[in-house]
Structure 1
């Protein structure tokens, strides 16, 4: 039975939160990848939308067998014995010009143990909580969605088009996973949900489904730990609060938050999880003081989580880390309130999988996320390029495979392989995002076709003046080389709630904010015409 109102659910959750110590919190989970991979829903394929993934380094496009999962070289969680993977749709910021960039942040995971009979997950257990393709807040799968503005009241709604006089500085996308399993110990099901069920708690004299409940229904009698995964996102000067319907949008196009969902694959070392439940579970919870829990302390290491890298391939497409993108990857037009079924669009071609050639680093959150950039030839001076995402000076690029605790297992992709693996019909990007014309004439820039459902207005053709040879060429896209004489300045402060402290060892370069450059949508959605004039590309 599902609670009839959100208030009833909140009342139960509040009362349970005030009970005996019953949980531990794994903080500082580092992002492995932001890409279109989902081995549960889309095995051996490119997934329908972009996910943010944390956990075991051997995450890839198909599910690992239990032993392979445990054999991962490292984990981006701070508990080395947790080789699980957790992933959810990436939250994007939609600029006024209808371009998109990922919102950055941190991840934490809560493990609740509500009674004395909690059992460890069986090897290979995987599940999904939430609905990705259909909007139904009364569906049992949607019960675990908990979204908040500045860690305030939890609802099932993104703070879009709502009344927040002071705006939102942070958005918490949280979700509970069902924690009651079948008697036969089933680890999966065809819908990725029905082998699990919600636990229950008393609401007056009646037992009702409660995402963080105490007992299991007779249909699913085995009680496992309750996972609450919290994907936190922080707005900044380049991504300021705007109170309209689709400023914040999930990677599947959802502007409401109702279709937030998350996936989990168990990779815990069995004895470690069993001991943690016994020694740090019901009545013995340590919260985020993991050093007080011996089974967790033995492999706890924040530095090791910072140095863990994804050790496989990624889909060959830009997801917005390098520069704003003109539409969400995949078939994901804006999905606004009042529409129950996800909007469709014309079929889209899929990119191939390729080894990354670079990483996107955000110094505030310590993320080093693999990217495949056709703008970077193999001999480019990567120190002269940095991304447009993140606070001023807080983002930069580095060559993939040049560092990391599992460096020996990383393969750096080549420029030619990346060009060859682009989705059919995709125009190769201009090398270095720069172009000039020797004669100083004009170059016509034409817009690429876009799904009209994701645009507020059409994008006109625009003519750009190109400087004469020898002069400084203008940036065609948001990312551009660093000025060698750029002034250095101190880093912006990190939000108190941010997962991960700032790095103080790197220099920060003052730069013009590019996330909201005028007419960026037209520029980003354009390709260079080759109708009549020869052009020169500068790396």
Structure 2
């Protein structure tokens, strides 16, 4: 019997998770798209469990011993490209990451992660089937090369922040002026699964996106991908404000993603499921929302100090913090 057949007989759920994860590591590693390659082509910020490795496979929820995320049963790994500032002299500086204002103070960089069912304001009432051990997927494509194509990727957006609470408007490319509060990148993953494959050659075909803009409720799943899974989303806040006085005089955008994209069209993100046991399904079957899901109701949680303490070894030895003559992994043209 397929998993989605089992889901059809289960009771409705009302779950919505929002939580912080501090940075696990920032390295040129990508075990999903470039498994085993050390280093990978471009730099990523990675959060989550310490089972992260260039060759990781199987059920990482049973392999991790710590996590940078709020929930101690979540050993998943989540990662995105890194943002850099390009000076008019041609050098690059990595943009620091800020924590979301909705999270507790002291988180070291990282991201805000969402597993929602309905939208940002309510948690709905439909059955949500949790991801399975070994599940993985990506969203977006670094080869996207036009604004029209970027506009077609609903849920992959940038926000020019007036402050950390700014959520609109959402833009398909980099802001065209200095942002008072920094820049937020947003990545919404597809939430309709084919019910069979834990991955696919392109890491996307086993999923289908009915995502709409922002946190609007997603559309119904098609017959080809009938299983409704959590609507996974990342928010990353980049502290671009320290570069506002260095903005080019011609008004051109000075920011670039780590695979050398100065438009933002190819923004993308990766996910490898690693929740321990049935913890994510228990959460999806609960009526909690956001912080109300912490402290054993129903998920075990940890404090910020414990989140920040978790890390993995540095496997790629290169400078990523100085003013650099070129992006890591990108040879000078």
Q: TM-score, normalised by structure 2?
A: 0.80
Change (3 A) 1:22 1:52: same
Q: Deviations over 1:23-58 (max 9, x none)?
A: 22112x111111110011111112111111101112
Gaps in structure 1 of 5+ consecutive residues: 1-20, 202-207, 332-347, 349-449, 452-539
The correspondence of residues 79-158 of structure 1 with structure 2, limited to 5 A, is: 79-105=71-97, 106=109, 107-114=111-118, 115-136=125-146, 137-138=148-149, 142-150=153-161, 151=166, 152-158=168-174
Change (3 A) 1:155 1:22: farther
Change (3 A) 1:200 1:87: closer
Q: Deviations over 1:65-86 (max 9, x none)?
A: 21x4432110111111110000
Which of these residues, 185, 188, 191, is aligned with residue 176 of structure 1? 188
Q: Deviations over 1:325-374 (max 9, x none)?
A: 1110123xxxxxxxxxxxxxxxx6xxxxxxxxxxxxxxxxxxxxxxxxxx
Asked if residue 229 in structure 1 is aligned to residue 234 in structure 2, the reply is: yes
Which residue number in structure 2 is paired with residue 300 of structure 1? Answer: 302
Provide the C-alpha distance between the structure 2 equivalents of 1:214 and 1:76, rounded to a whole number of angstroms. 32
Change (3 A) 1:141 1:47: farther
Provide the C-alpha distance between the structure 2 equivalents of 1:178 and 1:141, rounded to a whole number of angstroms. 14
Q: Conserved in 2, the CA contact under 8 Å of 1:131 and 1:142?
A: no
Q: Conserved in 1, the CA contact under 8 Å of 2:83 and 2:94?
A: yes
The correspondence of residues 493-504 of structure 1 with structure 2, limited to 5 A, is: none
Q: Conserved in 2, the CA contact under 8 Å of 1:178 and 1:211?
A: no
Which residue number in structure 1 is paired with residue 329 of structure 2? Answer: 330
Which of these residues, 260, 277, 280, is aligned with residue 284 of structure 2? 277
Which residue number in structure 2 is paired with residue 248 of structure 1? Answer: 255
Q: Conserved in 2, the CA contact under 8 Å of 1:176 and 1:211?
A: no
Q: Conserved in 1, the CA contact under 8 Å of 2:177 and 2:253?
A: no
Gaps in structure 2 of 5+ consecutive residues: 1-13, 98-108, 119-124
Provide the C-alpha distance between the structure 1 equivalents of 2:114 and 2:236, rounded to a whole number of angstroms. 11
Asked if residue 40 in structure 1 is aligned to residue 52 in structure 2, the reply is: no
Provide the C-alpha distance between the structure 2 equivalents of 1:111 and 1:241, rounded to a whole number of angstroms. 37
Once the two structures are TM-superposed, the CA of residue 317 in structure 1 deviates from its matched residue by 1.6
Q: Conserved in 2, the CA contact under 8 Å of 1:176 and 1:212?
A: no
Which residue number in structure 2 is paired with residue 73 of structure 1? Answer: 65
Instruction: Name which structure has the greater RCO, CA cutoff 8 Å, separation 6+.
Output: 2
Change (3 A) 1:101 1:163: closer
Which residue number in structure 1 is paired with residue 18 of structure 2? Answer: 25
Q: Conserved in 1, the CA contact under 8 Å of 2:27 and 2:314?
A: no
Of the structure 1 ranges 74-83 and 90-99, higher mean CA displacement relative to structure 2 is found in 90-99
Q: Deviations over 1:352-404 (max 9, x none)?
A: xxxxxxxxxxxxxxxxxxxxxxxxxxxxxxxxxxxxxxxxxxxxxxxxxxxxx
Provide the C-alpha distance between the structure 1 equivalents of 2:84 and 2:234, rounded to a whole number of angstroms. 18
- RMSD between superposed Cα atoms in Å: 2.6
Change (3 A) 1:200 1:74: closer
Q: Conserved in 1, the CA contact under 8 Å of 2:71 and 2:302?
A: yes
Q: Conserved in 1, the CA contact under 8 Å of 2:61 and 2:133?
A: no
Q: Conserved in 2, the CA contact under 8 Å of 1:200 and 1:215?
A: no
Change (3 A) 1:181 1:81: same
Which residue number in structure 2 is paired with residue 432 of structure 1? Answer: none
Provide the C-alpha distance between the structure 2 equivalents of 1:232 and 1:249, rounded to a whole number of angstroms. 15
Q: Conserved in 2, the CA contact under 8 Å of 1:36 and 1:315?
A: yes
Q: Secondary structure, in 3 states, of the residue corresponding to 1:25?
A: strand
Q: TM-score, normalised by structure 1?
A: 0.51
Asked if residue 268 in structure 1 is aligned to residue 275 in structure 2, the reply is: yes
Q: Conserved in 1, the CA contact under 8 Å of 2:193 and 2:207?
A: yes
The correspondence of residues 461-472 of structure 1 with structure 2, limited to 5 A, is: none
Change (3 A) 1:183 1:156: same
Provide the C-alpha distance between the structure 1 equivalents of 2:216 and 2:274, rounded to a whole number of angstroms. 22
